Structures are given as C-alpha cells and as structure tokens.
Amino acid sequence: MKFLYSHRTRSADGQYVHIRELTDALRARGHDIVMAGPRGEKESLSKDLNAGGGQWRSALPGALYELGELAYCAPAYWRLRKLYSSVRPDILYQRYNLFYYPGVWLRQAKNIPLMIEVNAPLAEERVRHGGLSLEGAARKSEAAIWRAADMVLPVSNVMAAKVRAAGVPDENITVIQNGASEDFLAPHDGGAVRARYNLEGKLILGFSGFVRDWHGVDRVVRAIARQNRPNLHLLLVGDGPARAGLEALARELGVASQLTITGVVQRGEMPDHIAAFDIALQPAVTEYASPLKVFEYMALAKPILAPASVNICEVLKDQEDAALFAEQNGADFDHILEALIADEGLRARLGAAARASLIRQDLTWAGNARRVEAIAQTLLGRKFTGDKI
C-alpha cells in the first residue's frame, strides 16, 4: 500500500522518534510512505529539541498564535492535495495536532480512508501546561477532527476514553501503544558507556529522554541524597528544560557528584546507554501517555520503577514485570527503590520478565506496523465494497 503521512511536527524529541520508527517499520513491510510535513516530501526533521514553534508561541499573544495555527492549515492542505494528486496514495495517515485540518479536508474531498494517530488530548494539555486562549474553539476543533477520521489510533486506553467521550464510536477506535525497535531487542553491553562517564562499580539509576519538570526526576535526586550511598548514581541520558534545575538541586543536596547528564545522545547510541542502567526510571507519567522509554527499558530487560497509574498498568504488572509505586506517595517510592537497590535477584527477575512481556504482547514498532497495515486493509475493503468508511 501507499501511505500519505501528514503531520505538523518539527522537533526531534519523542514525536520524531514515533514518526520515524513507525514509518520505517511500514517501509520494512514493503509499503510506500510519502511524507507530508512542514518541510515537504523530502523533509528531515530538525535535530533541535526546542524546535516546533515554541518561540512563536511565547512571542505572540495566545489568540493570535492560535489563529495562526488555523491559518497554517490552508497552505498545508494545498501541499497535501498536490501530493495526493501526484502520488495517488491508498491511505492517509495523520498525526493529530491541535487545529490541524488538512487530513480531514482531503478525506472529504477525495474519499481517501483517514487514520488519525492521537498521542495526547492537546486542548486539555495546553490548558494545563501552556495556556490556551481559544479554549472553546480548540476543544470543538479537537472533537471534530477525531470524529472525521475513519479510524482513530489513541496510544493508551486512557486516551481512548477521551476520544470516545468526544463522540467517536468504539468501532472507529483502535488502541496502538508505542513500542520498541529491533535495535533495542538486540544484545547490548553498557560497559563502554559506564567507562565513558567513569561509572564503573556504581549502581546506576537511569532515565532516558527529553526531561521536563513533570517527569519527576527531582524525586530521584532527593532519594539519592536520603540514601547516603556513595556508589549510587543517577545517569540521565538526554537533555531538556529540567536539566538546570536538577543540577542545581543536586548541588544544593550535596550529591552533584552522583548525577551525570549526558546531553543529547544520537538515537543509535541510546540502546548502549540504557544497557548501562541497573534500574530504569519512569518517576512520573502523564495519565494518558504511552511512554516510549518504558518499552525500550522492557526490550533491554531492565527492572523498571514506575508509578502504578492506569496507563502504566495497561502495560506492566507490579512485582511481575516491574516495580510500581503509588504516584502521590513519596514514602512508597523510596521504599520500592530501596528494595530494588538491595536485591540484585529481584532486579534480574523483573528485567527478564519485562522483556518477555514485551515480546509476548508484540509491543514493537514492527508489531505496530502490522496493526496499522491490517486496519488500512480493512478500511480499503470497506471503500471498495461500497460500505460507509
């Protein structure tokens, strides 16, 4: 099949990883993928983790920025329509973004089956974190875009409930979690990474990815200070806006020597870095998310410490393939972390079980490509038999 993949993403954070991993997996299955994004068909996404329009959002009044998002739909739609005419795709796949209508308009104009991947309720998220001036219009827009799709692909059952509440029928919703790539399932030795950062002989608490305040990594720094174990070390593989605050907190608590932040690491080097972890951390989570790092930790057989939130429990089971804590209970976090630090056998058992669980559930990008392919075939079957798409 030929997929036309429409998105509005510029940055190189987890959004970029999701786009690249899924499209690469679909290509590996023999499908043609034509990209339709801000930089056109031959795009390569920015490696700037701060790219993506944040500078304009902070510079412009909220309502004006949001009207600009709506105005962007016009040129984006005509680029999408031009691509459609030149490549004649079978399926239109759109990564959902707020106020982003091009896929809906093309579906209405050309009757091409439309799949929309939903990673977050962006109206709700922007109200919570960044502010939203046109909140009513944004919520109506979000619901209308979801309802216009032939299939909505939320990344968790929690997210699916929000899509359902917006008026999308159950038969138009399929949950597809994030996943791990084959690179993470291959054998990796973290010894070189430990040597690079002078961490031989340390017990490494590890976190990977773009770190923000809401990731809760500060609770790990505080726990290290309370533990008073010189061999305990936090290795943060990545960068992000929370970095300066974490470094300042570590200095304040006298554990700066027990914190290493690598800065941006190339994607191909990430498995070796995670392989260096003794305990893999997801200290906090957005309640509807499907965290990429969790699947990558699982693939590399790492014991995972994560909150017992509903979305995490969709993937992991406490004391079977992970150690889960009550998210709002700092004492519970400390207690479970101490148990993992003290018991190497427990760490080995949970890590092996996590990898086995990932393989059993096929929580991989290859598995996701197979799921997307099957849905696309069903939608095309409806189209060719004259059934309502």
- Looking at the DSSP assignment, which residues form a beta bridge with residue 195? none
- Which residues are within 8 A (CB) of 102 and not within 5 positions of it... i.e. 6 or more apart? 6, 36, 73, 76, 77, 80, 94
Range list of H helices, the chain: 14-28, 54-59, 62-87, 102-110, 122-129, 135-148, 157-165, 182-185, 191-196, 218-227, 243-252, 270-275, 292-299, 310-313, 330-342, 344-361, 365-385
CA-wise closest residue to 129 among 221, 48, 57: 57
Percent of the chain with pLDDT over 70: 91
Report the pLDDT value the prediction gives residue 384, as an integer from 0 to 100: 61
CA-wise closest residue to 239 among 261, 214, 259: 261
Model pLDDT for residues 13-35, shown as the tens digit of each residue: 678 889 999 999 999 999 999 99
Q: SS3 of 125, please? A: helix
Percent of the chain with pLDDT over 90: 84
Cα→Cα distances 385→4, 61, 141, 188, 379, Å: 22, 49, 31, 48, 10
Domain ranges of the chain: 2-179+364-385, 183-361
pLDDT of 52 over the 50 cut:
no
Report the pLDDT value the prediction gives residue 327, as an integer from 0 to 100: 85
Report the pLDDT value the prediction gives residue 61, as an integer from 0 to 100: 56
Tokens at 263, concatenated:
């800065």
CB 37 within 8 A of CB 3: no
Mean pLDDT of 269-293: 97
Report the pLDDT value the prediction gives residue 10, as an integer from 0 to 100: 75
Parallel, antiparallel, or unpaired: how do β-strands 232-237 and 114-118 relate?
unpaired
Model pLDDT for residues 93-147, shown as the tens digit of each residue: 999 999 999 999 999 999 999 999 999 999 999 998 777 999 999 999 999 999 9
CB 194 within 8 A of CB 202: yes
Report the pLDDT value the prediction gives residue 228, as an integer from 0 to 100: 87
pLDDT of 45 over the 60 cut:
no
- Residue 240's pLDDT band (cuts 50, 70, 90): very high
Averaged pLDDT of the chain: 92
pLDDT of 388 over the 90 cut:
no
Report the pLDDT value the prediction gives residue 330, as an integer from 0 to 100: 79
CB 286 within 8 A of CB 120: yes
pLDDT of 49 over the 50 cut:
no
CB 54 within 8 A of CB 78: no
CB 271 within 8 A of CB 249: no
- Residue 63's pLDDT band (cuts 50, 70, 90): confident
The CATH class of the 2-179+364-385 domain is alpha beta
CA gyration radius for the chain? 22
Report the pLDDT value the prediction gives residue 46, as an integer from 0 to 100: 44
Query: 183-361 architecture in CATH?
Result: 3-Layer(aba) Sandwich (3.40)
